[in-house]
Amino acid sequence: MPDQYGLFINGKWVETQDKANVKNKYTGEVYAEVSKAGEKDVEEAIHSAHHAYKHTDLSPYERYKILNKVSELLQVRKEELAQNITSEAGKPIKQARTEIDRATQTFELAAEEAKRIHGEGVPVEAAPGSENRMAFTLKVPVGVVGAISPFNFPVNLVAHKIAPAIAAGNTVVLKPASATPISSLKLAELFEEAGLPAGFLNVVVGSGSTVGNQMMKDKRINLYTFTGSAEVGLKLKQNTGLNKLILELGNNSPVIVDEEADIDLAAKTLAQKSFAYAGQVCISVQRIYVHDSVMKEFREKLLDAIKDLHVGDPFDDKTDVGPMISEDEAERVEEWIQEAKGQGAEVLFGGQREGALFEPTVLANTDHNMKVVCEELFAPVVTLMSFSNFEECLNEVNNSDYGLQGGIFTKNVDKAFKAARKVEVGGFMINDASQYRVDLMPYGGVKNSGWGKEGPKYSIDEMTEERLIVMNLQN
């Protein structure tokens, strides 16, 4: 009998008639059954969040205590939560454990930030005629936050939405990805145990086209925070009117390997960071631009390092690359590679699929007319392109609709900083892959990669309004 999960609405667990199966993404077995939210449940969740926001006060210190407690509980239940990620997302267990450690930090950071949300003094007395006035700003919560999350980091990317929202004094309606809802329901259990008052966090499970759509149209939601594809992000932008919106969308991350790079470091780092969680990380390396003069050496070293990766059962402690989220997704990647081969691409390594498992793959002879380069692959596949002129390479790197993070390997400081200035991204890594993130840093993209920043301090900024208070002093 699969484990059963209800929805979490107004501090209560709600079972509905309509159920969805959650499958183990490696074995395909159904391991959990979750209630699906109907229109009435979504209405109830939004109402509860709205009512709690209007009628229940939670002081900054209380928010700090609750978030800190959740952070501690994550460590207490670390193995259970990590095993769950591996089941519902197919993420290799060692990467799932790292995700729990990172989420622990995300909650801890948000807890700390809850105690230092403040405005600033405004010198209105400097304006002629305002000599007898004093002013300052307050940071007030936006109200109800609607959070919609993707499948790939079902704990930590959810943490990046709900922890800062609650730290800032908001209430939340969360819709997790249909493929990975259990992690969010487990987080709700932790909040319940940590003493979060009813209505502050509501979790509704269901598809984007039903639950997501209903959330998008509800005027009681003051801010939407979305992580997912650019396609759905655009829908949200078009349907949420004048409400605030944070969009964390896709990328086809570029990394430059310059002629003055440490080739061993570049090859080793790129082999490790391009295929983690089967490349289903939005800052996973996709486009590698290598200087002509070092291409041969880099290629050999990259392929050698990839051979050391363990591919297969995500529950095995040794596994580096497990299955993709579904067989359909792995088939899509197979089709894109076939299409690229038809356009002249060469498979240097991998390229084979077995069910949802896709081998780490390296493509050469690729160019910007191919989908594998210009669109987001979201798969364990990298493309190699060579360059001889650094300026032209930077133009090629920017020849993308996306701009989340990028990187360069070089010992030449001038080139490193030139690239850092010119490459159109939200974050740029020198002597590292695009896939670098720690949870305190500002994280977010430009162009079709979205706008608004995550990282608790930065999200809290987005999730609060600045209110000006002016005192008219009578002598």
Ligand X SMILES: NC(=O)C1=CN([C@@H]2O[C@H](COP(=O)(O)OP(=O)(O)OC[C@H]3O[C@@H](n4cnc5c(N)ncnc54)[C@H](O)[C@@H]3O)[C@@H](O)[C@H]2O)C=CC1
Q: Known catalytic residues?
A: 248, 282
Under the criterion CB under 6 A, does residue 283 sit at the interface with ligand LO4QSZO4?
yes
Helices 78-89, 182-194: crossing angle, 10 deg rounding = 160
Pick one of ligand X, ligand LO4QSZO4, none as the site partner of residue 178 (Cβ within 5 to 8 A by kind): ligand X
Under the criterion CB under 6 A, does residue 425 sit at the interface with ligand LO4QSZO4?
no
Q: Which stretch binds ligand LO4QSZO4 (CB under 6 A): 106-114, 203-211, 276-284, 422-430?
A: 276-284
Q: Which two tokens stand for residue 399?
A: 């020849």
Q: Toward ligand LO4QSZO4, which CB reaches closer, 44 or 432? A: 432
**Alpha carbon distance 115, 454 (integer Å):** 18
Q: Toward ligand X, which CB reaches closer, 199 or 208? A: 208
CA 101 to chain centre: 16
Letter string b/e over residues 40-66, b meaning 16 or more CB atoms within 10 A of that residue's CB: ebbbbbbbbbbbbbeeeebebeebbbb
Distances (CA, A) of 55 to 34, 39, 138, 270: 30, 24, 20, 51
Under the criterion CB under 6 A, does residue 91 sit at the interface with ligand X?
no
Q: Toward ligand X, which CB reaches closer, 66 or 165? A: 165
**Alpha carbon distance 449, 228 (integer Å):** 10
Query: Hey, what's the torsion of the CAs at 191, 163, 201, 214, to 10 degrees?
Result: -150
Q: Toward ligand X, which CB reaches closer, 177 or 266? A: 177
**Alpha carbon distance 95, 319 (integer Å):** 9
Under the criterion CB under 6 A, does residue 213 sit at the interface with ligand X?
yes
**Alpha carbon distance 404, 397 (integer Å):** 12
Under the criterion CB under 6 A, does residue 208 sit at the interface with ligand X?
yes
What amino acid occupies position 39? E
Pick one of ligand X, ligand LO4QSZO4, none as the site partner of residue 111 (Cβ within 5 to 8 A by kind): none
| Contact partners, residue 188, CB within 8 Å, separation at least 6 | 8, 201, 203
Choice from 24, 35, 104, 152 touching ligand LO4QSZO4 (CB under 6 A): 152
Under the criterion CB under 6 A, does residue 281 sit at the interface with ligand LO4QSZO4?
yes
In 3D, which of 130, 214, 225 has the Cα closest to residue 172? Answer: 225
**Alpha carbon distance 461, 120 (integer Å):** 13
Under the criterion CB under 6 A, does residue 152 sit at the interface with ligand X?
yes
Choice from 291, 437, 453, 457 touching ligand LO4QSZO4 (CB under 6 A): 437
Least distance to ligand X, CB of residue 431, Å: 23
Contact string 178-197 vs ligand X (x = CB under 6 A)? x-------------------
Least distance to ligand X, CB of residue 62, Å: 29
Q: Toward ligand X, which CB reaches closer, 151 or 387? A: 151
Least distance to ligand LO4QSZO4, CB of residue 148, Å: 14
How many residues bind ligand X, per CB under 6 A? 27
Q: Toward ligand X, which CB reaches closer, 169 or 444? A: 444
**Alpha carbon distance 273, 462 (integer Å):** 30
Beta carbons of 10 and 199 less than 8 angstroms apart = yes
Q: Toward ligand X, which CB reaches closer, 226 or 409? A: 226
Choice from 50, 63, 235, 287 touching ligand X (CB under 6 A): 235
Least distance to ligand X, CB of residue 153, Å: 6
Q: Which of residues 176-195 bind ligand LO4QSZO4 (CB under 6 A)?
A: none
Choice from 108, 320, 376, 396 touching ligand X (CB under 6 A): 376
Choice from 85, 271, 282, 311 touching ligand LO4QSZO4 (CB under 6 A): 282
Least distance to ligand LO4QSZO4, CB of residue 378, Å: 9
- What's the farthest any 2 CA atoms get from each other in the chain? 81
**Alpha carbon distance 466, 364 (integer Å):** 51
Pick one of ligand X, ligand LO4QSZO4, none as the site partner of residue 437 (Cβ within 5 to 8 A by kind): ligand LO4QSZO4
Give me the residues paired with residue 357 across strands: 354
In 3D, which of 151, 153, 247 has the Cα closest to residue 207? Answer: 151
Q: Toward ligand X, which CB reaches closer, 38 or 150? A: 150
Under the criterion CB under 6 A, does residue 404 sit at the interface with ligand X?
yes
**Alpha carbon distance 104, 112 (integer Å):** 13
Distances (CA, A) of 112 to 155, 156, 165: 19, 17, 13
Write out the residues near ligand X by the rule CB under 6 A.
Answer: 148-152, 157, 175, 177-178, 207-209, 212-213, 216, 227-229, 232, 235, 248-250, 282, 376, 378, 404
Write out the residues near ligand LO4QSZO4 by the rule CB under 6 A.
Answer: 152-153, 156, 281-283, 437
